[in-house]
Amino acid sequence: MAERILMKGNEAIAEAAIRAGCRHYFGYPITPQTEIAAYMAKKMPKIGGVFLQAESEIASINMVYGAAAAGMRVMTSSSSPGISLKAEGLSYIAGSDVPALVVNVQRGGPGLGGIQPSQSDYFQATKGGGHGDYRMIVLAPASVQEMASLTIKGFDLADKYLMTSMILADGTIGQMMEPITFEDAEIKTYDKPWALTGTECKRPHNVVNSLYLKPDELEKKNFERYEKYEQIEKNEAMWEDYMMDDAEICVVAFGIASRVAKNAVMTARSEGIKVGLIRPITLWPFPKAAFEAVSDRVRAYVSVELNMGQMIEDVRLATKCSAPVTLCNRTGGMIPSPDEILDSIRNAQKGVL
- CB burial of residue 100 (10 Å; 0-12, 13-18, 19+): buried
Q: Write out the binding residues for other proteins, residues 304-333 only, by CB under 8 A.
A: none
* Of 319 and 329, CB closest to other proteins: 329
CB 343 to other proteins: min, Å: 14
Residue 223 CA from chain centroid, whole number = 24
Residue 211 interacts with other proteins (CB under 8 A): yes or no: yes
Residue 55 interacts with other proteins (CB under 8 A): yes or no: yes
Q: Write out the binding residues for other proteins, residues 230-259 only, by CB under 8 A.
A: 256, 259
Residue 202 interacts with other proteins (CB under 8 A): yes or no: yes
Backbone phi, psi, residue 159, to 5°: -65, -40
Piece of 54-62, 148-156, 310-318, 345-353 that binds other proteins (CB under 8 A) = 54-62
CA gap 184, 182 in Å, rounded? 6
| Amino acid in the structure at residue 86 | K
Backbone phi, psi, residue 104, to 5°: -120, 105
β-pair partners for 212: none
Residue 84 interacts with other proteins (CB under 8 A): yes or no: no
CB-side neighbour CA atoms (13 Å) of 269: 17
Q: Among residues 38, 41, 50, 293, which is the contact residue for other proteins, using CB under 8 A?
A: 50
CB 15 to other proteins: min, Å: 16
Q: Among residues 198, 217, 223, 226, which is the contact residue for other proteins, using CB under 8 A?
A: 198
* Of 7 and 318, CB closest to other proteins: 7
| Measured CA distances, 170 to 50, 212, 344 (Å) | 26, 36, 23
* Of 237 and 249, CB closest to other proteins: 249
Residue 21 interacts with other proteins (CB under 8 A): yes or no: no
CA gap 28, 13 in Å, rounded? 16
Residue 58 interacts with other proteins (CB under 8 A): yes or no: yes
Residue 218 interacts with other proteins (CB under 8 A): yes or no: no
Give every CB contact of residue 129 below 8 A, 6+ residues apart in sequence: 83, 84, 87, 90, 91, 121
Residue 161 interacts with other proteins (CB under 8 A): yes or no: no
Residue 337 interacts with other proteins (CB under 8 A): yes or no: yes
CB 227 to other proteins: min, Å: 23
Residue 70 interacts with other proteins (CB under 8 A): yes or no: yes
CA gap 294, 282 in Å, rounded? 18
Cis before 179? omega within 30: no
CA gap 271, 339 in Å, rounded? 13
Residues that bind other proteins (CB under 8 A): 4-6, 24, 26, 31-32, 50, 52, 54-56, 58-60, 62-72, 74, 88-89, 92, 96, 115-116, 171-172, 175-179, 196-202, 205-211, 256, 259-260, 262-263, 266, 335, 337-339
